[in-house]
């Protein structure tokens, strides 16, 4: 089994997996996988058995109980091409090492992100940082054309400044956030799971969610058992506060009258009901950007 996992991981090294219209994610290198997590844990927990099922159970136990250090032993390095506005959200996660292409040293490529028509929407009326109702195809097409026109104009101005010999670090300053940049991004598995937990959430911006989906599929090849456990306990799992848990017990009739009569109020009840609907709050973008 371990041999098959290594073969699958090696097979995707240096392959570009597309994201958005012109972006990609590429696994440059990795250190360790499921076996490394198990080996690191056994330093603390002793040798024990090494059957596949028991290793998977150990990984489950570690992740469920937040024994994070064994997952930090696995490290992945990605080459990512992404729009600058996505990059600005991405770097809110300050638990990785990155090196980005420099517009001071290099002439930036004429690559800009243009959203698909179906992804263009109005501002949400109940979410200050999200999208709401989609636009009709004609209006969406008009907006796409306007975005492309603005991008061509901005890059033309940039090129003209470069041709005049203006310093690259100055020529770039009017380029829009839709311009693509590239970086190498290295992160351990524990912090990658934290990134994915936030950026795969439905509240995350669509564009960064697309990258998170690609990152997760690549990571499955490197550490499939860890990813399965992450899906089960973190990505699709739910945590409850003490008050919310008390309300669950009350509704199930498993506690005494005193606790049962203590109904949740305001935000606590709202959070509880959101969780029951399968839409956990509190995972919105990992920050205000």
pLDDT in tens, 225-256: 999 999 999 998 888 888 887 877 777 775 54
Write the DSSP symbol of residue 110.
Answer: S
CA of 190: how far to CAs of 51, 68, 141, 156, in Å? Answer: 23, 6, 41, 43
Predicted confidence band of residue 139 (pLDDT cuts 50, 70, 90): very high
Binned at pLDDT 50, 70 and 90, residue 281 comes out as: very low
- pLDDT at residue 275, rounded to an integer: 59
Rounded Cα distance between 224 and 243, Å, is 35
pTM of whole model > 0.95?
no
| Long-range Cβ contact pairs of 161-165 (< 8 A, separation 24 or more) | 162/107
Q: Which two tokens stand for residue 233?
A: 């306990």
pLDDT in tens, 10-31: 999 999 999 999 999 999 999 9
Catalytic positions: 199
Q: Across residues 152-172, what is the average pLDDT?
A: 98
Q: What is the pLDDT of residues 188-214, one digit of tens each?
A: 999 999 999 999 998 899 999 999 999
């Amino acid at each position: 089994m371990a041999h098959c996992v290594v073969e699958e991981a090696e097979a995707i090294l240096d392959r570009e997996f597309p994201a958005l219209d012109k972006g990609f994610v590429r696994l440059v290198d990795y250190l360790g996988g499921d076996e490394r997590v198990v080996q690191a844990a056994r330093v603390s927990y002793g040798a024990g058995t090494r059957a596949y099922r028991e290793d998977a159970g150990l990984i489950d136990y570690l992740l469920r109980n937040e024994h994070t250090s064994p997952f930090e032993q696995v490290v992945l390095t990605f080459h990512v091409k992404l729009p600058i506005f996505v990059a600005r959200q991405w770097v809110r996660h300050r638990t990785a090492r990155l090196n980005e292409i420099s517009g001071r040293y290099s002439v930036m490529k004429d690559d800009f992100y243009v959203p698909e028509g179906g992804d263009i929407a109005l501002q949400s009326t109940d979410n200050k940082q999200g999208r709401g109702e989609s636009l009709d195809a004609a209006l969406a097409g008009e907006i796409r054309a306007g975005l492309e026109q603005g991008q061509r104009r901005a890059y033309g101005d940039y090129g003209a400044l470069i041709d005049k010999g203006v310093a690259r670090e100055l020529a770039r300053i009017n380029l829009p956030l839709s311009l693509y940049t590239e970086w190498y991004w290295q992160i351990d598995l524990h912090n990658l799971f934290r990134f994915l937990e936030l950026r795969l959430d439905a509240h995350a911006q669509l564009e960064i969610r697309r990258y998170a989906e690609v990152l997760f599929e690549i990571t499955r090849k490197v550490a499939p058992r860890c990813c399965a456990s992450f899906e089960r306990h973190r990505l699709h799992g739910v945590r409850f506060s003490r008050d919310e848990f008390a309300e669950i017990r009350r509704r199930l009739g498993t506690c005494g009258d005193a606790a049962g009569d203590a109904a949740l109020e305001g935000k606590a009840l709202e959070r509880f009901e959101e969780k029951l609907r399968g839409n956990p709050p509190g995972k919105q973008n990992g920050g205000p950007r």
